[in-house]
């Protein structure tokens, strides 16, 4: 039988090498929801005076607020049934909805909110601010066709990917055809130390998403993200 000290030493070595890294969240409670919503609404109003949190987006905003505060009361939607269900704090966010319903803004405003409070998250051994950069999926593809690399987006500890599905299905670099987002999402889904936030016109288990990225990605997205939908019409036109 292995000695306890030997087991400890082996586990320590694995940890040192950064294998099986995990995410540690820190709670910022108590959370007073009405105040938090007011602050978020005011952040939105600095961008457009018509910004509001209403019945179309309240569930998403309230629960992303719970997510950044690390409140175990967090809820999300079951992507299959669209019923409310218990959310998870160590996985990311996926917001689906029509064009112009305010998905991208939700990711940007909530990132600003988390940064303003300097909320912390520990990924592996590194403690950092929960703030994330939001990059459009098509901009990631543009970078691939000019540089031939997507390593940066596979490795980033936290990333917001905007408009998943609006990018070209294939990107070409020196004769190499690549479904860039499929590669990135598969990689991130295979690692427990990555947080991925996504906005998309495609519901998570929609046929177009499965056709485009395959069922491996679809199944990983279910694991990687708390699912939300923002309802309503194009706010750009209102």
Ligand X SMILES: Nc1ncnc2c1ncn2[C@@H]1O[C@H](COP(=O)(O)OP(=O)(O)O)[C@@H](O)[C@H]1O
Summarize as ranges the residues that interact with ligand X (CB under 6 A). Answer: 44, 48, 50-52, 57, 97, 99-105, 199, 235-236
| For ligand X, the closer CB: 79 or 102 | 102
Q: Considering only 15-23, 101-109, 119-127, 210-218, which stretch makes contact with Mg ion by CB under 5 A?
A: 101-109
Q: How far apart are the first and last CA of the chain?
A: 70
Give least dist CB 148 to ligand X, A.
29
Phi/psi of residue 98, nearest 5 degrees: -65, 160
Burial 8-29 (b: 16+ CB within 10 A, else e): eeeeeeeeeeeeebebebeebe
| For Mg ion, the closer CB: 138 or 218 | 138
Give least dist CB 221 to ligand X, A.
18
The pair of structure tokens assigned to 205 is: 């288990």
Residues 155-214 close enough to bind Mg ion by CB under 5 A: 163
- The residue number with the shortest CB distance to ligand X is 102
The label of the residue with tokens 């990311």 reads: 92
The pair of structure tokens assigned to 221 is: 């997205």
Our finding on whether 98 is near Mg ion (CB under 5 A) is no
Give least dist CB 43 to ligand X, A.
11
Give least dist CB 52 to ligand X, A.
5
Among ligand X, Mg ion, none, what binds residue 57 when CB lies within 5 to 8 Å by partner kind? ligand X
Among ligand X, Mg ion, none, what binds residue 235 when CB lies within 5 to 8 Å by partner kind? ligand X
DSSP string of 99-137, one letter each residue? TTSSHHHHHHHHHHHHHHHT-EEEETTEEEE----EEEH
Give least dist CB 130 to Mg ion, A.
21
Largest CA distance in the chain: 70
Q: Are 68 and 110 in contact (CB under 8 A)?
A: yes
| For ligand X, the closer CB: 44 or 79 | 44
Q: Which residues bind Mg ion (CB under 5 A)?
A: 104, 163
């Amino acid at each position: 039988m292995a000695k306890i000290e030997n087991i400890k030493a082996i586990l320590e070595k694995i940890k040192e090498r950064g294998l099986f890294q995990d995410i540690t969240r820190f709670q910022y409670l108590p959370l007073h929801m009405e105040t938090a919503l007011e602050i978020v609404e005011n952040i939105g109003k600095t961008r457009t005076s018509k910004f509001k949190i209403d019945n179309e987006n309240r569930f998403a905003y309230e629960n992303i607020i719970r997510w950044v505060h690390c409140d175990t009361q967090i809820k999300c939607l079951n992507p299959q049934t669209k019923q409310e269900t218990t959310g998870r704090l160590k996985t990311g966010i996926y917001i689906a909805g029509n064009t112009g319903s305010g998905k991208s803004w939700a990711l940007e405003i909530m990132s600003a909110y988390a940064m303003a409070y300097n909320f912390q998250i520990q990924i592996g051994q590194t403690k950092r601010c929960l703030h994330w950069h939001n990059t459009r999926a098509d901009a990631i593809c543009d970078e691939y066709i000019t540089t031939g690399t997507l390593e940066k987006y596979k490795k980033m500890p936290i990333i917001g990917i905007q408009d998943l599905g609006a990018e070209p299905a294939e990107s070409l670099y020196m004769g190499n055809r690549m479904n860039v987002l499929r590669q990135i999402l598969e990689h991130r889904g295979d690692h427990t130390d990555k947080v991925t936030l996504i906005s998309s016109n495609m519901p998570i288990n929609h046929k177009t998403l499965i056709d485009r990225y395959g069922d491996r990605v679809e199944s990983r997205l279910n694991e990687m993200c708390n699912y939300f939908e923002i309802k309503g019409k194009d706010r750009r036109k209102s």
